[in-house]
Every structure is written in C-alpha cells, then in structure tokens.
Structure 1
C-alpha cells in the first residue's frame, strides 16, 4: 500500500506576451477504492481570473480556467499526495459464463457498454480484425483472460516503444504497420483490437511509476496511457500494453474516456503574433514513500483552490 508524492508541471513559453483563452485541465487523479487522495493542489501562473471544477460525462475531475491578463509563460503545476492500493492480477475473477470467449455481455450491462464496444477507427481491409483473431484458440473456445493477457504481452514484445512529445496519435492501422509507437498509440491499437472481438474497452490517461526497484516501468517522466476492458465479475480491468502488465500496480488513473481525444490532460488556446509560441515542456516526477513514513489517516479532499 504505497504512499505517493506526485508532481506534474506543464510549461508553455512565448516570445512576447500573449492572451490566453479558456483552458481545460485534467490532471487530478480519480478517487476510488484503490487510490485515495490525501492532498491535491493545482497552481496556475499567471493567476486565472476564474477557475471552476466539474465532472465530465465519464466522471473525470476537470478544472476550467479563464484568464484576463497576457504573459510570456503559462505554467500548470499539479502536486498530489496519494494512497495507492493497486489491484493484482489474482483479483481478476470473471463470471463463469464469460471465462471462455466468445460470450455476450448480460442484457443489464449491454446498453451501457455499447458505445465502448463501438469501433472508433476505419479498418476497411480488416487488418485490426485479423491481428486480433491471432489470439483466439483455433479449437473455438478461448480462455478470455489468457487471450487478453497474450494480446497485452504481444504488443510489449513485438512493438518498439518510441517516445513522441508531439501531440497526436497514430491510427491503430499505422501502429500495426510500423510496429512502433508511444503508449497512447499502443493503447488505441489494443482498444480497437478488443472492440473488434466484441469487448467493451476504454482509454485511460494517467501516470506510471516503478512499484519497486525490481519492477521497471516504461513511460515515466510524462503522462501515460493504457486500456480498461470490461470483464463480467471484475468490472473494468486495467491492461497496459506498453509494459505488458495487467492490473493497476504502478498505474495511477486520472482520466477515463471512450476515445483518446476526450482525455487530453491540458487543452486551451492563446492569441498573439504569429510565431510567438516557443516551446512546451512536461515534467512528471513520482516519489514512492515507505509505508511507515506515511500518514496514519486520510481525509478525501475537495478540489483545492488555484494559487498564483
């Protein structure tokens, strides 16, 4: 049950002062039975004229900031203290009827899962479908969890992880053809492959850290992306194809969405002379504390006020 101290700083710099439009900030981790916030503070420079908090359609915590002054620099500094109790693979307990694939979700669940089963990317030649079906047992009955585990491991094993700080995501077909990509590319490939087989799958944005010195995770130093798949009996289960892991060990959820564009950590606009924008830098640092050094009690916090 590690306690974590998380720092996420995003900095935009400009040649001369520019005006800022509304910004949408999604960096506050979601609270759940496996991760509880001890404290959370978001500092924005320059100080916004107004900040309001809301929950989006997926229940993600979002801050909306508006500005009334110009500046050469815009900084979002998120500091979080978190009690993380990650779920292990052994806790995945699938209902008997869904332990073998194919199966059909129950009539009670299906109406709410349909949009997460719906494909988001064109696959005119069924390339993703063919790749996904490689993991099926030719006998006709496939162990559900084993199949999804094999798919997760295959992406980790057969594809080359290449960090890409620029915005945007490859299409799943591009990732499949190039055999390389970022964590968000891998997540979208696995989501589309799972949906091709009829699973409800969602995109997850958050952070990754090394739970111990023996476990080295790929994708640190920035935000991370992975997948959630709905399995009857266990609900939404985490699959991280970048690291080939199942469960939330080493993963901190911030945003869950049907599509990657609904889970952008920071988005907004600016106005100024052409060529004013210079650079954007992102720094994420996560420190894992010894349990004995952590507080003995925690209180769930409401969103904290923004400070200049």
Structure 2
C-alpha cells in the first residue's frame, strides 16, 4: 500500500486589489476501502474569515471559504497524505446475471441508479449510440467487462490527447467528431456512451499518479478526470479512457458526481475593475513513498 503526498496549489493574480465572493473547494480525497486519508491541510491566502465543511449529495467533502479582505492574489494550497490500495482488473467480480450484456439492474438498485443512467446530451442522429454499439458483438455473447474495457482502450488508442487549460468541456459529439480532447472530454464521451447502453455511470475528478517506472500516463500533473460504471457484484468500478486503465491503479478519487459541473475542484467569484484578472496557475505534485513501492514523481505547472 503506497503512501502518497499530494500538493495541489492553485493561484490567481490580479492587476489591482479585488474582492472575493464565496469559494467552493473540492480538493479533499474521499475516504474508502481502497484509499485512506491520513492527513489533510488546507491553506488559503489571504486568510479567509471563515471556512466551513460540508458533504454534498454525493458524499464529497466540500470546503466553503469566505474571504473578506481585498487582495491582488488568491492562493489555495492543499496538501494531503493518502494510503492507497488500488484495485485491478482481476479484482472486478461481477454477479453471474450481469456478466453477459445486456442485463437489467435489480429492482432494489434501479431506483438509486436511474439518474446516473439518464442521458445528459442531445444526440438527435444517434451518433453516440452508434459508436457505443460497435463494442457489442453482433453474433454470440458480449462479455460485460470485456466490452467496457474495450471501449476504454479504444478511446486511448483512437483519440489524441490534447491538454486544454481553458474552462469548459466539449460535448461528446464534438469529441467523437474531432477525435481529440482532454481527460474531461473523454470522460464525458464514455459516460454518454455507456449510458446509451443502459449502464449507470458517474464523472470522477481526482488525481493521477505513476505507481511505477513502467507507467506512462497522460493527464498527470493537474487534476484528472475519469469514469465510474456501476457493475453488480463490484459496485462502482473505475475506467480511465485517457490512459486505458480499468480499476483504480494510479487514480485517487476526490469528487464523484452525476454531471461534470457538480465536481469542479475550485469555483468562486471576484469583483473589481474590468480587466483586473491577470493569470491563473495550477501546480499538482504527487510523490510516492519509495519504502512502500517503487514510484516516480509526477509534476507539471501550468
């Protein structure tokens, strides 16, 4: 079980002092059977008048910061220590009735999964549906896990990863047409595709790290995005289409939500003279305790 130290610093700079509205921060990893939060420190400059914590409807930890002093900069510095026991593909155990696609979720689970099955993007020409059906065998049985793994691998293989620091996400149809995008674009494409096949899926925001020298991941050094699909017998299983990962190897969950806009790491407002905003920078450093497992340091500053 490797121990990770994750430093996530977000900084904003302005030409002249501005006032800040309430800021909503989602930078604290979720506690679960495969990741244990050992410690967490959150520093904000200028020092806020108040920071209160809450859990949202999905159980994510959210800090609400109230900053009452004008400033020419805002720095949000999160450092956490996490013990990670990643799950792997061979650990995914699906109930017999769901191992072959198609299947129907049980009557006990369906009411809680319905909103995560609902499509969120208009697809009038059924382009996403058509693409998703490519992974269903036309003859013979379709293994559920193999189908989802093949879709994950296909996005990594057939699409070009392009970093895009600007806010916003392409629609799944745009990503399908352009054959390129960011991790969040790929996550939204896969979510819509598996929902088109009747699966419950959720968006995940978190961190990506290389657990060994053999790992060569895309999308590291910043916050990362991937997908969770509900599979009876194993529950919510991670699929990272940017890197072709099935299971949680190298993935640390921070926020899980039905829609990408419910899992924004940092959001807030400021007020001041037009044109005051200068720059935003994000730095994520992840180090792995080498006494626990061989590792590399993932770093990128934008």
Q: TM-score range by the shorter chain?
A: over 0.9
Kindly report which structure 2 residues correspond to 1:232-247, keeping only aligned pairs within 5 A, or say none.
232-247=232-247
Q: Tell me the CA shift for residue 38 of structure 1.
A: 1.1
Which secondary structure does the structure 1 equivalent of 2:155 belong to? helix
Query: Is contact 2:186–2:242 with CA below 8 Å preserved after alignment?
Result: yes
* Number of residue pairs matched by the alignment: 293
- Tell me the distance in 1 between the aligned counterparts of 2:216 and 2:158: 18
Please state whether the residue corresponding to 2:28 is helix, strand or coil: coil
Conserved in 1, the CA contact under 8 Å of 2:2 and 2:292? no
The C-alpha deviation readout for 1:263-284, integer Å capped at 9, x for no partner, is 0000000000000000100000
CA distance in 1, matches of 2:44, 2:141: 53
Structure 2 residue aligned with 1:137: 137
- Flag as ranges the 4+ runs of structure 1 deviating above 6 A: none
Distance (Å, rounded) in 1 between the aligned partners of 2:79 and 2:210: 19
Counterpart in the other structure of 2:256: 256
In structure 2, C-alpha distance between the alignment counterparts of 1:76 and 1:108, rounded to whole Å: 42
CA contact (8 A) 2:48 2:65 kept: yes
Q: Report the CA distance between 1:290 and its aligned residue.
A: 2.2
Counterpart in the other structure of 2:83: 83
Q: 1:302 is matched with which residue?
A: none
C-alpha distance in 2 between matches for 1:291 and 1:114: 44
Contact 1:218 1:242 in 2 (8 A): yes
> In the alignment, which residue of structure 1 is the partner of 2:56?
56
Return the alpha-carbon distance in structure 1 between the equivalents of residues 203 and 220 of structure 2: 18
Q: Is 1:186 the counterpart of 2:194 in the alignment?
A: no
Q: Contact 1:97/1:103 (CA < 8 Å) preserved in 2?
A: yes
- For 2:146 and 2:129, the matched residues in 1 are separated by 18
User: How far 1:196 moved relative to its partner?
Assistant: 0.1
SS in structure 1 of the partner of residue 249 of structure 2: coil
Question: Which TM-score applies when normalising by structure 1?
Answer: 0.94
- Deviation of residue 140 (structure 1)? 5.3
Report what 1:11 is aligned to. 11
The change in CA–CA distance for 1:160 and 1:292 in structure 2 (over 3 A counts) is closer
Relative contact order, CA 8 A, sep 6+: which one is greater?
Answer: 1
How far off is 1:157 after superposition? 0.1
Instruction: Give the TM-score normalised by structure 2.
Output: 0.96
- For residues 162-201 of structure 1, what are the structure 2 equivalents within 5 Å? 162-201=162-201
Q: Could you tell me how far apart the structure 1 residues matched to 2:281 and 2:140 are?
A: 49
Q: Within 2, Cα distance between the matches of 1:177 and 1:237?
A: 27
Deviation, 1:223, is 0.2
Structure 1 residue runs without a partner (length 5+)? 294-308
**Which residue of 2 is the match for residue 306 of structure 1?**
none
Q: What's the CA shift for 1:292?
A: 5.1
Question: Which residue of 1 is the match for residue 285 of structure 2?
Answer: 285
| Partner residue, 1:207 | 207
Q: Distance in 1 between matches of 2:117 and 2:289?
A: 39
CA shift for structure 1 position 141: 2.6
Q: CA–CA distance in 2 between the matches of 1:81 and 1:291? A: 15
Separation of aligned partners in 1, 2:143 and 2:132:
14
- Pairwise CA distance, 1:262: 0.2
CA–CA distance in structure 1, aligned partners of residues 74 and 123 of structure 2: 39
Alpha-carbon displacement from aligned partner over 1:210-251 (angstroms, at most 9, x marks no partner): 010011111111000000000000000000000001000000
1:37, 1:132 → 2: CA distance? 36
Compute the displacement of 1:145 (Å).
0.3
